[in-house]
A and B are shown apart, each in its own frame.
Chain A
């Protein structure tokens, strides 16, 4: 069977509901690591594929960065999601590892009167853990730690507030998020 036709949600409404709730908790509580299930995309993490299935469709321009831009994934996205694939400058969502997403200031950062019109980057990670840079800000009672790939780029992004990018970090079946509001400091 063509790999593009498999690996989507078996029960789209309920699978997406569960996945969205996890992404919501993650975005609302920066640093919290959650597990998601329900899809099996080709050559990217399950968590990244589930995030795409839950949030993207024909109305959301998507950028595939670096090694994530494969024929298999393009076919899978075309069949299950239908998101138009675009350059970084036009993306509402982007997927890639941290290195291939650079430089991140080429992605839409929102407009002064519509700061919501900014890209969300889905960052594929080797692993996720609660060790690493220190996070404070909305959603965090005292402080949190998350294994971010660096701090400087996230600090520069946070300084743009209320503009800025928002990040969903994925690894295997786990995800965490970092909204533009999080203050990031070296541990």
Chain B
């Protein structure tokens, strides 16, 4: 049931057109951050207002929406965004990755391979991968223009000198089609290999920073690395204590106050599907 007090998917049509134009240019220039005029949304910035605006611009009444936060459909953040679009767009919702037509995510890529016809929308806190080495927007924009990515490599190499390996484990930077260096949002680097060659459309929205960027399907995406220290998509060296998967990204969960702990899939839908498959 759509709340008639709102336009479809909350945003007014002129705002949606502005966001839609930004999305198309983002798809035409993979990895490049397109500025857009972010709107006030009825939720705080930390709650993924950039992703919410991109989702609002893409949704059709026939969509089946899935919202995940760190792999889970049940966090407060995921539930409130899902309810927001149920109320304002009347869309169907699902927790099953395979059944969703549009998935909004914070900090994970689903384990189940995405397919043609699906759109994955990322909530992005800091879209600029060069921000921590250069705080000035005018300078980082110039660095992207001139492909001045040497300092980025220096930072990663300092990690190796200090820790014996690249310590960056989230928001691990990638190079898109050999051109733009891009922040994949704070996904674990375990998820980086799923960014490239993906059958789905991937859209990234940063509300506070007012940027939209994109990866079309089957785009070439390479995690930055070095010949003597190649990129590795690491995860906890365990299997899931619930479904037994040895291939999924795991969360460490404290089970009691005696320090007991187990490892479980971060992707709750993937884990549940595997449990049902095992039970059947």
Contact = CB atoms under 8 A, between A and B. Distances in A.
B28 A180 contact: yes
Contacts of B32: 115-116, 162
A55 B28 contact: no
A56 to B, nearest CB: 7
A136 to B, nearest CB: 10
Contacts of A118: 25
B220 interface: yes
Interface in B137-188: 141-142, 144-145, 177, 179-180
A13 B7 contact: yes
Contact of B60 (A18, A113, A162, A181): A18
B137 to A, nearest CB: 10
A112 B24 CA distance: 18
B219 A139 contact: yes
A180 to B, nearest CB: 6
Contacts of B29: 115-116, 161-162, 179-181
Contacts of B141: 113-114
B39 interface: no
Contacts, number: 115
A120 to B, nearest CB: 7
A161 B144 CA distance: 13
A113 B180 CA distance: 12
Most chain A beta-carbon neighbours within 10 Å: one of B23, B27, B61, B180: B27
Given A13-B13, A60-B21, A139-B216, A179 B27 contact: yes
B61 A14 contact: yes
Nearest to B203: A24
B201 A28 contact: yes
B13 to A, nearest CB: 6
Interface string A174-187: 00000111000000
B18 A27 contact: no
A116 B17 contact: no
Contact of B216 (A17, A54, A115, A138): A138
A24 B54 CA distance: 12
A149 B8 CA distance: 38
Contacts of A27: 24, 27-28, 216
Most buried by B among A27, A116, A181: A116
Given A17-B8, A29-B217, A113-B145, A24 B27 contact: yes
A159 interface: no
6 contacts: A12-B13, A20-B20, A29-B116, A141-B199, A141-B217, A166-B25
Interface of B: 7-9, 13-14, 16-18, 20-30, 32, 34-35, 57-61, 116-117, 119, 141-142, 144-145, 177, 179-180, 199, 201, 214-220
Given A17-B9, A59-B14, A181-B29, 9 more contacts: A14-B61, A17-B8, A20-B57, A24-B23, A54-B20, A57-B14, A59-B18, A113-B141, A162-B179
